[in-house]
Amino acid sequence: MILLDGKRTSEAIQQEIAAEVADIRVHGGKVPHLAAILVGNDGGSVTYVTNKVLACEKVGFGSTLIRYEDDVTEEELLDKIQELNNSDEIDGFIVQLPLPRHINSQKVLEAVDPRKDVDGFHPVNVGRMVAGLTSFLPATPYGILQLLERYNIETSGKHCVVIGRSNIVGSPMSILMAKAAYPGNSTVTLCHRNTVDLAYHTRQADIIISAVGIPGLLTADMVKEGAVVIDVGTTRVPDDSRKSGYRLRGDVDFENVAPKCSYITPVPGGVGPLTIAMLLKNTLRAAKREIYA
């Protein structure tokens, strides 16, 4: 069994980005600039956005954090998005989710210029991805592709079962694994909460990617020998032995599943660290106009 080290892979990607940014500086080019809009004071969102800003500093990007209280109006938020769309300084930006209930999240996401949509959530980028055109990919699926590629895991002709159908991970992951590319060329089965006899499908899988947020969902009897298992789930469960009072658990019963796997991601330290790295990679691509010339 080989552990897929997302932390080490993320660090390698960030080092590559930093080297490219240093080269841009030497040649007098424009340094990439990422902006983030954060509404409210949700602890998880604040931590995540703070880590994004720190990662920008680490690779030499410019960064801007724009904060609003929970009572910000939808109109005010849309005005700020339009301002960022029109800014020559900002290459890409994100609107951290979730947003307060009085704001239409889909309306906000669609207001972002697709050329600056480094989260890859705009319908134009989703459509381009489905059509096999270059696009900004959602960060988590993009990170999983990087893991598969950098560990030289064979995907062509393999049976890949994706558990979860969210627009952020499951649905785009199933599309990307079926594409005529590497990583890809897999035969894909997309499962979800209404799938009958989930174990029937997972036992046939060469590659399992689980992104549902149900701790311990995937047990050893659901996995065949030699399978590749990618665990996207990160759920906080109570743990009085820790200072925080909780620990993170994935969708996979790691202790019992790992011995059967050829490759497996840990939680934490697997897919999670790659999300920010791929956001930075998308921002670099936006600055270089690689997607929309």
Residue 141, preceding peptide bond in cis (omega within 30° of 0)? no
Does the annotation count 30 as an active-site position?
Answer: no
- Helices 272-287 and 43-59: angle between axes, nearest 10 degrees: 50
| Phi-psi group of 15: left, alpha or beta (phi > 0 → left; psi -120 to 50 → alpha; rest → beta) | alpha
Q: Which residues sit opposite 95 in a β-bridge?
A: 37
Does the annotation count 96 as an active-site position?
Answer: yes
Cα gap 286→116, rounded to integer Å: 6
Interior angle at CA 52, CA 84 and CA 101, nearest 5: 65
Does the annotation count 119 as an active-site position?
Answer: yes
Q: Which of 5, 113, 119, 253 is catalytic?
A: 119
Cα gap 226→158, rounded to integer Å: 12
Cα gap 98→169, rounded to integer Å: 15
Q: Which of 80, 96, 113, 206 is catalytic?
A: 96
- CA distances (Å), origin 165, targets 83, 204, 276: 33, 19, 21
Q: Which of 5, 52, 80, 206 is catalytic?
A: 52
Question: Would you please indicate which residues are annotated as catalytic (active-site) residues?
Answer: 52, 96, 119
